[in-house]
Structure 1
Amino acid sequence: MADATPEFTSDADTAERAAKMGQRKTWLIRLGVAVIVLGLIYLLWYQLIGRNHVSTDNAYVNAEVAQVTPLISAQATQVLVSDTQAVKRGDILVRLDPTNARIALAQAEADLAEARRRFRQTSATNSALAAQVEARGADIAQAQAQLATAQADLEKARVDLQRREALAPEGAVSGDEVTIARKAFAAARAGLAQARAAVAMAQATRGAAQGDLAANDALVQGLTAESDPAVLAAKAKVESARLDIGRSVIRAPIDGVVTRRQVQVGQRVAQGTPIMTIVPLNQVYVDANFKERQLREVKIGMPAEVTSDLYGGDVVYHGKVVGFSGGTGSSMALIPAQNATGNWIKVVQRLPVRIALDPKELAAHPLRVGLSMEADIYLSGR
């Protein structure tokens, strides 16, 4: 009896070990089957889904925001919006003091009236200059008549002098008469020269009058009081002044939400300085930064699904690829990476891909610029 107990115990241990080995073998078989099934499932998923899409969680909401900048420098008299306020295109945002613009408009209107008056004066001067040309023509005729008279007087004085000089040797005339005749001849010759100079002067005066008439006529020829260049320039100044008055009321350029308002009542704003930003929530898009290896088969127009951390996976946005960035994020950084060194290590780059979203889905679940997103692009088109 003492020898039977160890033998029985040994058989029990052997049976227990065999049972454990069988159980372990069963679990190993089950594990192997599970691994094979999981592998088949993964292979099936990859064949049907995995290889047909690329995804990334490095994606963010972006938008073409509108910078609101005043076009004139003036003091803000009213600020009608605040941050986070939704506005429609054309809504009044800020009113500026229009006093300086109104003064400029009054000055421009006065300049316009003066330009019109000068044109009418120039047009009226044409008639006066034409009359002066005619008067100078009459002066020429008068000078020519005086020239003919001087020529006749000179001829008469020559004849008288020749006659007296012929009679002087015979004593028929005295020496005084010859002297008087000679003086008369000299005077007649001087009078002829003076008459010729008068004709030349009258002709020159008429030429100057004709030049003045031509110059004045060039200023008004083919023009009216409304098409004169000076009048047009004055009109442009009036329109500019009126435009500045209209610009004293700053309106929303697009629909969106006011962000980063930087203007207060009483503040003098400078022309071209941003005073607020408007974000168009109905036109936001997603910039997804995919790894360069993921983009081998991605093309413009491919469908995409996007989810937001704000709403979770229950809200799925549908969109499509509309473009690729012109460079990677690192190359477009303020200080690009310099890889031309001896200890260069290759770093996988990411290229921003723009995904446009469905406006209806955006209206139902609005997004904000800068929110984190997850993007999936379907390479198969579904």
Structure 2
Amino acid sequence: MKMPGNEKKRNIFFSFLLGNKERIRNKGSFQRLFQVLWRSWKRDLFSFAFNKYRPFLVFFLILCLVALWWFFFTGRWVATNDAYVTGNVIPVKAQTSGRVVEVLVESTQFVQKNQLLVRLDSLKQQVAFESAQHNLAMAVRRVEDLFNKARSLRHKIAAQKAILGRQRYDLGLYSSGSKAGVVSVQDAVDAQWKVAEIESTIRQLEDELRSTEAWIQKTTIWDNPIVLKAAVELKDAYLALYRCQIVAPVAGYIARRSVQVGDEVSPEKLLMSVVPLDYYWVVANYRETELRRIRPGQPVKIRADIYGRHYLYHGIVEGIEPGSGTVFSLLPPDNATGNYIHVVERVPVRIKLDPTELRKHPLRLGLSVVTKVNVSYQGQSVLKPLTEIPPEAKKTDYSSPYFTEELAGVDHLIKSIIEQNRYSQDQAENPNQAENSLSQKQQEIFPSPPSN
């Protein structure tokens, strides 16, 4: 009868323990016996453990895989798909009311900075501008007349004072002569009345001089209030005419053009928008439970839905908004009303994009993206954001010198009008030459925005 393998092995082992030296004669036999026993026990042990603890082993293996995946992929990254591309949207509005007579651009069209977009009806403003020029010329001539009048009154006063001196001298002679009987008393009385009459005339002239000097004292033709007031009115009329031409404040693409020829526009009405696509960023809304590990300076991986998984953007956390979205909403929540529901708030995080990657793969405002912040980097304090305007964008997108230089030409025009209307010997000889020179100067000075 053939014994089972396990029983045979046990008999061999027992015979070895009892000193059966006939079957085990040397050291090599002992090693072979030990290897046979070890292989048998190992196979039996593994078979028993695998069959009995199989669910536990599978669970442990899955737990190890999850731990490794969390450590290498999830633990170092904080991701969200509640993110979108945003940037500057520059509104285009009229600075004065008027009727549209010409529209020069269309939606999606690229425009340069200070390019003419819309032109308004400017006939009324042109008439007001010409009237303001004439008013300034009249003001200059009026002030010049006041200066001349004051000068003439001083001369008259000086002449009357000279006559008064002579009459007083004659009065003294007549008084002495009447006492000596040389001159009649009537002549002395007449001389006395002439002195009183001249003194009254001098006082009247001095009052007229003071009244005239009240308009011109301590001033010149350049800083007299009458001239300055007319100059300000001219500037106002100049601006009204100048602003009938609506230009692009920045370079970019036209979006949502709503203005039409014939529309009556006002400063409150939005005509269109200009979107500069050379500088934009990503706003990612992270849950408040995820913000404790997000810091400015941490790298970010970004995938845009427009390119899918074909391209990966790289960015950096610039800063975290000082409040959640509900705080800055139109109707902020009031949790003291009694109807309180706890919800996890989301806080916007600003992420800077790489300009080189944006030039290769342009984006558009409002596109959805997926962001992953690498929180294994330490970054810096949330109280020290890295947000700043790039120097190039600050010159192109955050400033428009056009609006601050609107009066650049009118000052020279005012100076020309004042010079042309001041009294001089040349004007007295050729009065038409000054008028022609002023008209030519106005055409040269009055600027117009560049057209497309």
TM-fit CA distance, 1:230? 2.8
Instruction: Report what 2:317 is aligned to.
Output: 321
Instruction: Report what 2:95 is aligned to.
Output: 71
User: 3-state SS of the aligned residue for 1:320?
Assistant: strand
Instruction: Report what 2:55 is aligned to.
Output: 28
TM-fit CA distance, 1:25? 4.5
Equivalent of residue 133 in structure 1, options 127, 140, 157: 157
TM-fit CA distance, 1:211? 4.6
1:42 matched to 2:60? no
Instruction: Report what 2:281 is aligned to.
Output: 285
TM-fit CA distance, 1:132? 1.4
The answer to whether the 8 A contact 2:295-2:378 is kept is no
Instruction: Report what 1:93 is aligned to.
Output: 117
Instruction: Report what 2:333 is aligned to.
Output: 337
TM-fit CA distance, 1:150? 6.5
Cα distance, 1:372–1:107 mapped onto 2, change above 3 Å: same
What is the 5 A alignment of 1:187-226? Answer: 199=195, 202-214=198-210, 216-217=212-213, 219-220=215-216, 223-226=219-222
The answer to whether the 8 A contact 2:98-2:264 is kept is yes
| Percent identity (aligned) | 32
Aligned counterparts of 2:378 and 2:253: Cα–Cα separation in 1: 34
Instruction: Report what 1:144 is aligned to.
Output: 168
Amino acid at match of 1:65: V
Aligned counterparts of 2:296 and 2:199: Cα–Cα separation in 1: 83
Cα distance, 1:304–1:210 mapped onto 2, change above 3 Å: farther
Aligned counterparts of 1:59 and 1:225: Cα–Cα separation in 2: 64
TM-fit CA distance, 1:22? 8.5
TM-fit CA distance, 1:65? 0.9
TM-fit CA distance, 1:283? 1.9
Aligned counterparts of 1:304 and 1:205: Cα–Cα separation in 2: 93
What is the 5 A alignment of 1:115-264? Answer: 115-145=139-169, 147-148=171-172, 151-152=175-176, 155=179, 199=195, 202-214=198-210, 216-217=212-213, 219-220=215-216, 223-264=219-260
Amino acid at match of 2:55: L
1:348 matched to 2:375? no
Cα distance, 1:23–1:275 mapped onto 2, change above 3 Å: same
Aligned counterparts of 2:371 and 2:197: Cα–Cα separation in 1: 95
Structure 2 unaligned residues grouped into runs of 5+: 1-46, 380-452
Equivalent of residue 102 in structure 1, options 112, 126, 141: 126
Identify the range of structure 1 (113-122 vs 313-322) with the bigger mean alpha-carbon deviation: 313-322
Normalised by the size of structure 1, how large is the TM-score?
A: 0.74
When Rg is computed on C-alpha atoms for both structures, the one with the higher figure is 1
Cα distance, 1:252–1:340 mapped onto 2, change above 3 Å: same
Structure 1 unaligned residues grouped into runs of 5+: 1-19, 158-183
After superposition, the CA RMSD in angstroms is 3.3
Cα distance, 1:318–1:212 mapped onto 2, change above 3 Å: farther
Aligned counterparts of 1:150 and 1:293: Cα–Cα separation in 2: 115
Cα distance, 1:343–1:220 mapped onto 2, change above 3 Å: closer
User: 3-state SS of the aligned residue for 1:288?
Assistant: strand
User: 3-state SS of the aligned residue for 1:296?
Assistant: helix
TM-fit CA distance, 1:129? 0.8
Structure with bigger RCO (C-alpha 8 Å, 6+ apart): 1
User: 3-state SS of the aligned residue for 1:340?
Assistant: helix
1:111 matched to 2:135? yes
Cα distance, 1:324–1:215 mapped onto 2, change above 3 Å: farther
Could you report, residue by residue, the CA deviation over 1:190-228 in whole angstroms, capped at 9, with x for unpaired residues? x76x86676455435424433543554564466544443
Instruction: Report what 2:107 is aligned to.
Output: 83
Instruction: Report what 1:160 is aligned to.
Output: none
Could you report, residue by residue, the CA deviation over 1:255-302 in whole angstroms, capped at 9, with x for unpaired residues? 222222121012121234221111222222222211222222433333
